[in-house]
Amino acid sequence: MKIELADYCIRCGLCEDLYPDLYKRNYEEHCMDVLYEEIPPELEERAAQSAADCAVAAIRLK
Ligand code: SF4
């Protein structure tokens, strides 16, 4: 599983606040970083929950 963030992410930071094991604010590039290229199996459920929690549905799972 991979996480992709859509361009229309509003950088609210909620995903990092709730899932700091998956996301981190990138202040230099004004975007959010996903901490894994490939999501570890043990974090897949949290990744799916983070996608459900994003208010603008900017988190896509592939
Ligand atoms: S919760 Fe959604 S909109 Fe907010 S920073 Fe994360 S991906 Fe972007």
What does the domain layout of the chain look like in residue ranges? 3-61
Tokens representing 9?
A: 């992410």
Neighbours of 23 (CB within 10 A): 24
Percent of the chain with pLDDT over 70: 100
pLDDT at 22: 98
Alpha-carbon distance 31 to 53, whole Å? 18
Which residues lie closer than 8 Å to 52 by C-beta, 6 or more apart?
A: none
pLDDT tens digits, one per residue of 46-56: 999 999 999 99
pLDDT tens digits, one per residue of 36-45: 999 999 999 9
Ligand 1 site residues (CB inside 6 A) read 5, 9-15, 32, 54, 56, 58-59
- Closest ligand 1 atom to Cα of 12: 4
- Closest ligand 1 atom to Cα of 5: 7
Residue from 57, 58, 31, 59 nearest 44 by CA: 59
Name the CATH architecture for the domain at 3-61.
2-Layer Sandwich (3.30)
